[in-house]
Structure 1
Amino acid sequence: MRTWCQTFYPANMKSNNLAKRTEYDVFNERLSLALCHRTKAEVSAILGVNPRTLRRWEVRQSRPEYHALDAYNRNLQRLLPFSQNENDSGSFRFIDLFAGIGGIRAAFEEIGGACVFTSEWDSYAQKTYAENWSNSHRIEGDITKIDVLDIPDHDVLLAGFPCQPFSIAGVSKKNALGRAHGFHDETQGTLFFDVCRIIEAKEPRAFLLENVKNLVSHDKGKTFSVIKRSLEDLGYNIYYRVIDGAHFVPQHRERIMIVGFREQVAFDFEAQSLPAKGQRTMKDILHKTDGSEPRLDHDGERFFDHKKNRVQPKYTLTDKLWEYLYNYAEKHRAKGNGFGYGLVYPDSVARTLSARYYKDGSEILVYQGARKNPRRLTPRECARLMGFPDSFRIPVSDTRAYKQFGNSVVVDVVRHVAKAMRPMLEVEVLQPELPLRRGTNT
């Protein structure tokens, strides 16, 4: 029988225990809970079935058609108090939108939050997310198709909404192809307004939105002006700052962090000072060839040969690829351009890791000596470069892993912002008398 997790994840996905329940198990559980809180007539009405049919389902004499289960489960979810389904063990509740592989979630769980809803459209990112995070809820897909009634109440909304329409590389590519970018991008740019749709309906106490630095200057500042005004019109006090990941990891990666609070609070990005850049260099994240590289059961020998104390040879560039990259760089250097590969050494701070790293790895190539071609970072090194601990599992192919880490946040940057937000998320701060909401006259 097709399992619940196979409906939402690839068939070869290794899921957590909760995801091994069948869709029928979810239905039976929610039906039992719904009947504890509502009458049979109310449940029958919301499902659109005869009370007799409902009774047969209740006592397991029959069951719904499989194709209708998803709709039934969603309708039953709406009948239940969310606390029956979600983890309330944290000091505040948050939702994780455009979740990727969970980089933003990691920081907010560390400060005491409980994730009660996750949305990520990419099935491979879902696989990595499910491998690393324990959920009492399933991972939802396309945010544009999610009804706000299916999203539980929460204190904090987190969203690293897609950055390609605003990134320097994304804008250049779309201009070259004659395609629109920013809010004129039909598929990605408008996803910001889905964030607004959810904020307007659920009115969380706070939110954190993350995007590329170029969001501030895109379209001569008009794009960010629209974003800021849209959030303020929803009744939020807005704070933002561009932070370079090089304060925490050996990688220049500038991202804008947008924080919003519905109440007037004393939030200040300067409440915690940023570490000086350059304190961490590539030697801190590269595999160690002196015999001290940790053995990770979930990695095995996939990235590093522990017997020979070396990175697996497949990550070293072929002669043909290295010759191409070298000649390409020389050609542009002769023209006075800065295009070309980025060679890193143990004491270096790398360029930005991009989602295209899987193609040739040119932005970050590890020097291996004068007589040996440089190599790509391994996916484990990419994980470290983004601030993920070695306990983070990488269940996808190298190509998918490079894309996922290239699209991720630097966990340490989000952790820094989360710690600055934490005092405003304490229970005594979350409970004061609320200001008047929009549209009220008293």
Structure 2
Amino acid sequence: MSHTFHHHDSEAVLKYLAAARKLKSQEDIATILGVNARQVRRWEARESDPPPYLSYALQQILPLENNDPNAGKDAPFTFIDLFAGIGGIRQAFDSIGGHCVFTSEWDTYAQKTYLYNYPNNHQINGDITQIQAVDIPDHDVLLGGFPCQPFSIAGVSKKNALGRAHGFADETQGTLFFDICKIIDHKMPKAFLLENVKNLTSHDKGRTFDVIKRWLINLGYSISYRVIDGAHFVPQHRERIIIVGFRNDLKVDFDLHQLDLPAKGERKLGEILHKTDGTEPFLPWDGDAYFDHKKKKPLDKYTLTDNLWVYLQNYAAKHKEKGNGFGFGLVTNESVTRTLSARYYKDGSEILVSQGKSKNPRRLTPRECARLMGFPDTFKIPVSDTRAYKQFGNSVVVDVMSHVANAMLPHLTAETEITKARRSKIAA
């Protein structure tokens, strides 16, 4: 299995390399990639495999005409992946047969992880604010886990707010939500799925969320939203708001509150922790980066040093005296953890795995974090531990997204007048 993954990745890079070589010399390409020309020659001669993340760098040299225009044309629906991160939402929509036609993510380390894991027939676009809506391909679904920036709620006349007048653009101007709205307004996809932190609903006494709802409704969509806890699917409490919208003309009756969710807290941490009884699978793409297969245990570097463990215990005791709930979260096989955060790399305090009385607790390894977020073991982690912790801490619980994606699927594949027209335009 590992061979196919690896082979597929390097074949994609070699395809880009061949196309780039029509435009530039080995020396030029070597300079751009930060390697020596001999290395480029070895890749071309297939003496060694190029790392998959080079796809991204090579795509920057290329006009994209070398991509297969028919890729994904038989897919039941197409989607775009905005604020993509490491592709947690994409993972869910790929799994139900969707075809991704456009990706935007500005963080270069997240781009690297994304390119390692998804066969893109398009380059990753950086800053969404620099992209014109007209340049984005047609798509059926817009996906976006957009960052919640403060909204400036301007005093706008009621007349403007009720019509679709762009007079109230200054409410959201300067926020990334506005960029999503521009794309929806221009492309009018069948549906969208937006994801955000739970307290989006209460931000600025609820006014921010009122603006978001009003905008999406005024764009011509019926919307449904719900806060869902990841603990329905994985052993982690992680509450996130999901907003789904369907274009009004589709007359879709979609209610996230009618989704049946598995009982919360049934999945326990022991299911995702490395197995120390000899049954931990060996993943060629991880090797022994996180787990020592000979000694059958996670690497010692994940165990807290005496200094850090003493510090965390003192810190917790101090806050307990003051009546604050601050402290570390010590967990066992039977636990459901707190929310994994992007700052987990700092001290790991929100999720510390107990290793018994005689040993300090340990952090989760990046592979365990991947599992805690619902990523399969085939998901590759090509970045440092620090970056990996940030990336998983910023991600979505894949299983939550898959559950919602499956519920959306029948409505996405239904033929409509607009899609029929689009199909006949493509056929012509």
TM-score of the aligned structures, taking structure 2 as reference length: 0.78
- Contact 1:16–1:130 (CA<8 Å) still a contact in 2? no
Q: Which residue does the alignment assign to 2:414?
A: 427
1:99 aligned onto 2:93? no
In structure 2, the partner of 1:52 is none
Q: Which of 9, 12, 17 is the equivalent residue of 1:18?
A: 12
Contact 1:18 1:136 in 2 (8 A): no
User: In structure 2, do the counterparts of structure 1 residues 22 and 347 end up closer, same or farther at CA, with 3 Å as the change threshold?
Assistant: closer
CA distance in 1, matches of 2:332, 2:340: 16
Letter in 2 for 1:415: S
For 1:411, the equivalent position in structure 2 comes to 398
- Aligned partners of 2:366 and 2:389 also within 8 Å: yes
Would you say 1:212 and 2:171 are equivalent positions?
Answer: no
Aligned pair in 2 of structure 1 residues 432, 307: CA closer, same or farther (>3 Å)? closer
Instruction: Show the counterpart of 1:247.
Output: 232
Q: 1:303 to 1:23 in 2, by over 3 A?
A: closer
Within-5 A mapping of 1:280-291: 280-291=267-278
Of 134, 139, 144, 2:124 maps to 139
Cα distance in 2 between the residues matched to 1:391 and 1:146: 32
Aligned to 1:231: 216
How does 1:70-149 map onto structure 2 within 5 Å? 73=63, 84=69, 86-149=71-134
- Contact 2:19/2:62 (<8 A) preserved: no
Deviation, structure 1 residue 17: 4.0
Please tell me whether the aligned partners of residues 150 and 175 of structure 2 are also in contact (alpha carbons under 8 angstroms). Answer: no
Q: CA deviation at 1:112?
A: 1.7
Partner of 1:300: 287
Structure-1 residue corresponding to 2:188? 203
CA deviation after TM superposition for structure 1 residue 380, in Å: 0.2
Does residue 400 in structure 1 map to residue 387 in structure 2?
Answer: yes
Per-residue CA deviation, residues 119-160 of structure 1 (Å, 9 max, x unaligned), is 110000000000000011111111111122321000000001
Aligned to 2:261: 274
User: Residues 20 and 62 of structure 2 are in contact (CA less than 8 Å); yes or no, is this contact kept in structure 1?
Assistant: no
| CA shift in 2, pair 1:426/1:22, >3 Å | closer
2:246 equivalent in structure 1? 261
Tell me the distance in 2 between the aligned counterparts of 1:277 and 1:198.
36
* Secondary structure of 2:415 counterpart: helix
Displacement of 1:26: 7.1
Q: 1:68-124: per-residue Cα shift (whole Å, max 9, x none)? A: x979948x89xxxx9936532310000000001111011111112111111110000
Query: Matched residue of 1:84: which SS?
Result: coil
Distance 1:239 1:160 in 2: 16
> In structure 2, what is the Cα distance between the partners aligned to 1:17 and 1:143?
29
1:73 and 1:393 map into 2 onto residues whose CA distance is 28
**2:310 counterpart of 1:316:** no
Partner in structure 1 of residue 337 of structure 2: 350
Q: Does residue 155 of structure 2 align to residue 161 of structure 1?
A: no
Amino acid at match of 1:248: F
Q: Does structure 1 retain, via aligned residues, the 8 Å contact 2:190–2:246?
A: yes
Alignment CA distance shift 1:261-1:184 (3 Å): closer
Distance 1:309 1:22 in 2: 40
Deviation by residue 1:169-203 (Cα, 9 ceiling, x = unmatched): xxxxxxxxxxxxxx9999xx701111111111111
Q: CA, structure 1 residues 72+300, in 2 after alignment: closer, same or farther (shift >3 Å)?
A: closer
Letter matched to residue 116 of structure 2: E
Tell me the distance in 2 between the aligned counterparts of 1:393 and 1:428.
Answer: 36
Which amino acid is the alignment partner of residue 376 of structure 1? R
Structure 1 runs (4+) deviating above 6 angstroms are 26-29, 69-72, 183-186
Deviation for aligned residue 1:20 = 4.8
Distance 2:60 2:390 in 1: 30
Q: Equivalents in 2 of 1:257, 1:417: separation in Å? A: 9
In the alignment, residue 130 of structure 2 is paired with which amino acid?
A: K
Gaps of 5+ in 1: 1-13, 30-68, 167-182, 435-442
How many percent identity over aligned positions?
65
> Which of these residues, 356, 364, 389, is aligned with residue 351 of structure 2?
364
User: How far apart, CA to CA, are the structure 1 residues paired with 2:60 and 2:95?
Assistant: 33
In 2: Cα distance, 1:89 partner to 1:313 partner: 48
- Alpha-carbon distance between aligned partners in 2 of 1:377 and 1:433, rounded to the nearest angstrom: 49
TM-score (norm. length: structure 1): 0.76
Aligned residue pairs: how many?
359
User: How far apart are 1:400 and its partner, in Å?
Assistant: 0.3
* SS of 1:395 mapped into structure 2: coil
Is 1:19–1:138's contact at 8 Å kept on the other side of the alignment?
no
How far does the alpha carbon of each residue in 1:326-363 deviate from its partner, in whole angstroms, 9 at most, with x for none? 00000000111100111101100000000000000000
> What amino acid does structure 2 have at the position aligned with 1:383?
A
Q: 1:307 to 1:253 in 2, by over 3 A?
A: same
Report the CA distance shift for 1:71/1:191 in structure 2 as closer, same or farther (over 3 A).
farther
Query: Superposition RMSD on alpha carbons, in Å?
Result: 2.8
Q: Which structure 2 residue ranges, 5 or more long, are not aligned?
A: 1-7, 24-58, 152-169, 422-428
Q: Contact 1:16–1:131 at 8 Å: present in 2 too? A: no
How far apart are 1:427 and its partner, in Å? Answer: 3.5
Query: 2:325 corresponds to which residue?
Result: 338
